[in-house]
Chains A and B, each alone.
Chain A
């Protein structure tokens, strides 16, 4: 049976003790990394090594390690979630790197994402946007029979495409303006495509966009960086739909 290959790497990772401390890149050498490892398992190995040598392990967010919870994320050699498209950091494997490579690992940086420690940032601003209208105002109980509201398959599928967002914030980290428009447009599109979202569509588009502005996210200038790094490959056509929803709400 074929054994896996191992590689040696130089890891340059952002170290910063807390939100107010001064941060810097620290360099570590890692040997015998199996190419079957995931990127986060490589960081686990680095952390075991640091722990044994009396150093502080690198803090990084992660949870499901299946690419669905949206907890992980870092900028690897300039790209949010690393070089593979449509992939979260936890689903990136070390076979995409060569022995001798230097990996520069930095946190998702944005004014709206204050740093917590090392690679960990505070993305609660994204929750703040959802709280402004990323829902249908319906209480539990009393909903009509689910099949009483037929929805064309193509609309349900398009809504699902937009709803696949995992809220990781890579779109914000990749955008030169640190805009959250891909994130906002995912939720606005999902609910604009479904009849359930119709009664509140105007307030939703206006309030969510205004909240994003207020929280310090930038504006969209069609750089398309967000779409390129989105681990769920959410299309910027959703931003076009958001713009229509916003305009429609402004003029009606």
Chain B
């Protein structure tokens, strides 16, 4: 199969406009005859569901939570980028495009990224019109800040709750369409399978999480906006219910999974404090603007930080990267922290942390100035750890934060299954091998408000609007499969809990398929994952019944999928014998131990195709070409 991204021809800046013009339109009177299924109600799902309903389509929207307002988009703190150039500081659509594609280490498509930068401005206009309370200057204009090392101030924000406010904006539009009867909302439903008829996506099987019943829903197209798979690592900054199940079941039905090894790891999280820990909390990386990162020079030095003298401290980032120091990019900071801990120099109860010290900044600028900048973060830290960063250094450690990989989509955001569209973090399309700060919110809303509503017409206009009937062979077969999988899970009466297996898988992926990988470790993981999976299916323990509200069963299904999906991540990491973005392949380094990309061999998107249970997936390559930018190597020395 040859992957065709269907990138429009013509100059970069004209591609989207001309594509919109050439795209097919669905007659306004016919739109109401089409039913579209949207799975997920985060930024991408809610914005898509609301916008499609506004256009006249009938939409059914499904969420795993009790309300569409809960999706994990809500947790994004920092902000949303747009190329408005309100600050007159030299920003432009081309600069946002360039920064994004360079940030992704030249592993994304020029055309997709340029379109993202183009529609970024519409997003801000739309959100303001909805009443999103963005931060403002005294004169009433919108405020901007520089974020994640960008040279221009293009980030819009609503305190530390930007994701929440943007999601509530999309939720409000969705709520309006629910009231108008154009969207039917299904809460507490988990998608367990995708239904294909004649090779086209025609419906889904969901489990009603309250009653435990399986339900069938049909539609002329299915839109997945089900988020990322960071929870494969067990510990991540993702919400507890974030999972890969919907995307993975679509993969098993024929949708290809692209670049699954691209995972972003955030350097400034509150460290792990015990085996009971359920998730990691991220703190804004702005802290590194004033904090100094260090560990004791001596291995296993357990003295309190105040007793460790200046000459006994190793400020390793400042030593190693004199020009960027503590402000090296996320991946470099993360990798070095792990390296220090692996050397036995980690601090804290678990020895899996490094210090982030504000002493010098407090001495230089005064406590009041530092509190003004970081007061809310210091309070958050103290609430969780019971330690005051003003009197003793913070402890930080990297954590899985975002997944750039996801289901492969073409320029229309359609997967390799006709009629299956994938939006937001669930697709792979825009961030390459690393995502810039404040770009996740931008992509989710771009896909939902301004891209899918245009491109879905291209597919629907060619599809008959005869009602999709549920209950046919394909629906029955899919439901039976889902049902038998649930029964297999319920039959597990072994000794180890679901969480126990999840933790084991997570620790393995973190060690062997995290921010630094090598061939030997990845091969070890490829042997180990099937062993963990086999033990899960023989010694797992699942309580309760199927026909009831059963959270253990829900988690078991998700962990079972992670146990298969983790293996695809490792296959992908193994095949990519280069370092790129936020991933260091240890065999591919410069003389100074920095990440070394290999454009000759690996300038492609890796798309994996399911080949059946216990068979290795098949790799397909979509070559990337760069006509408007020249790939360059990073240097932070």
- Interface, chain A (partner B; CB < 8 A): 1-4, 17-18, 34, 36-38, 40-41, 44-45, 48, 51-52, 54-57, 59, 61-66, 68-71, 87, 91, 93, 95, 116-117, 120, 122-124, 126-127, 130-132, 134-141, 143-147, 149-153, 156-157, 159-160, 163-164, 166-167, 190-191, 194, 196-197
Contact = CB atoms under 8 A, between A and B. Distances in A.
A89 to B, nearest CB: 13
Contacts of B239: 63-65, 69
For the complex of A and B, 6 pairs with smallest distance between CB atoms: A150-B140, A135-B172, A143-B129, A143-B125, A160-B133, A146-B128
Nearest to A129: B175
Contacts of A70: 67, 69-70
A48 B499 contact: yes
B549 interface: yes
A68 B210 CA distance: 23
B70 A71 contact: yes
Contacts of A134: 172, 175
Nearest to A160: B133
B133 A36 contact: no
B274 A36 contact: yes
A120 B549 contact: yes
A51 B552 contact: yes
B164 A68 contact: yes
Given A140-B173, A146-B84, A196 B179 contact: no
Contacts of A48: 497, 499
Contacts, number: 221
A54 B542 CA distance: 10
Given A41-B277, A153-B136, A197 B70 contact: no
Contacts of A166: 164
B542 to A, nearest CB: 9
By secondary structure, the A interface counts as loop
B455 to A, nearest CB: 14
A140 B123 CA distance: 9
Given A51-B497, A51-B541, A167-B67, A196 B128 contact: yes
A121 to B, nearest CB: 9
Contact of B158 (A66, A143, A160): A160
A56 B278 contact: no
Range for the number of chain B residues in contact with chain A: 35 or more
B458 interface: no
B134 A156 contact: yes
B92 interface: no
Interface in B39-88: 47, 50-51, 54, 65-72, 74-75, 84, 86
Contact of A59 (B74, B125, B549): B549
A151 B450 CA distance: 26
B131 interface: yes
Interface stretch (B199-207, B317-325, B380-388, B479-487): B380-388
B69 A127 contact: yes
B632 interface: no
Given A1-B348, A127-B67, A140-B51, A91 B384 contact: yes
A87 B135 contact: no
B122 A141 contact: yes
B75 A66 contact: yes
B276 to A, nearest CB: 5
Contacts of A144: 125, 129
Nearest to A130: B175
Given A51-B497, A135-B175, A93 B384 contact: yes
16 contacts: A36-B273, A69-B74, A93-B383, A117-B549, A124-B66, A127-B68, A131-B179, A140-B50, A143-B122, A143-B128, A144-B125, A153-B136, A156-B135, A157-B133, A163-B133, A196-B128
Given A63-B70, A126-B67, A163 B165 contact: yes
Contacts of B146: none
Contact of A51 (B72, B383, B543): B543
B349 to A, nearest CB: 6
B628 interface: no
A127 B175 CA distance: 8
Given A3-B349, A66-B75, A167-B69, A196 B176 contact: no
A4 B128 CA distance: 46
A44 B543 contact: no
Nearest to B497: A51
B394 to A, nearest CB: 15
Among A127, A132, A135, residue most surrounded by chain B Cβ atoms (within 10 Å): A135
Nearest to A122: B66
B370 to A, nearest CB: 22
B534 interface: no
Contacts of A156: 133-136
Interface string B255-280: 00000000000000000011011110
Contacts of A145: 125
Given A68-B164, A147-B86, A163-B168, A18 B125 contact: no
Given A56-B543, A66-B281, A196 B274 contact: no
Nearest to B545: A56
Nearest to A55: B543
A125 B304 CA distance: 51
B278 A71 contact: no
